[in-house]
């Protein structure tokens, strides 16, 4: 598991290395339990999981740690399930390329 940024606070480390890491680890084990990942290949598989956790989470008094765990658990499990199934396909990516939006890209390509 890796992050996309330089970690600068102990509070952030505790969230990333505690709650988020537990969620991703639990999701992986549950994928093995549920047969999403084949147990017989577990020792041969390698996953690199990129995590983005907003640095403001570490100082947010209203942070719901259960929700942080849940969202990272669900996202990890969904990503693994889709990867094992080969989803999305190349054809789906091409077909939907212009239909997916991200808030950070708003206005970037507009004239």
User: 110 pLDDT band (50/70/90 cuts)?
Assistant: low
Residue 64 included in any domain = yes
* Domain CATH code at residue 21: 3.30.230.60
pLDDT value at position 103? Answer: 78
**pLDDT tens per residue, range 75-96:** 999 999 999 999 999 999 999 9
Token pair in block for residue 59: 């100082």
Residue 58 included in any domain = yes
Quick one: how many helices (H) and strands (E) in the chain?
4, 2
For 67, the domain range is 2-105
How many domains does one find in the chain? 1
**Cα–Cα distance for residue pair 93/49, rounded to 1 Å:** 21
Residue 110 included in any domain = no
**pLDDT tens per residue, range 16-33:** 999 999 999 999 999 999
**pLDDT tens per residue, range 40-68:** 999 999 999 988 888 899 999 999 999 99
pTM as predicted: 0.83
Beta bridge partners of residue 50, listed in sequence order? 2
Residue 55 included in any domain = yes
**Cα–Cα distance for residue pair 51/34, rounded to 1 Å:** 23
Residue 49 included in any domain = yes
């Amino acid at each position: 598991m890796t992050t996309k940024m330089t970690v600068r606070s102990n509070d952030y480390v505790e969230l990333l290395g505690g709650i988020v890491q537990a969620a991703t680890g639990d999701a992986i084990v549950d994928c093995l339990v549920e047969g999403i990942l084949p147990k017989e290949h577990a020792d041969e598989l390698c996953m690199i999981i990129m995590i983005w956790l907003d640095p403001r989470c570490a100082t947010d008094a209203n942070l719901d740690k259960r929700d942080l765990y849940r969202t990272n658990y669900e996202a990890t499990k969904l990503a693994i399930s889709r990867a094992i199934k080969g989803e999305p396909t190349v054809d789906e990516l091409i077909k939907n390329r212009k239909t997916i939006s991200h808030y950070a890209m708003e206005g970037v390509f507009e004239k």
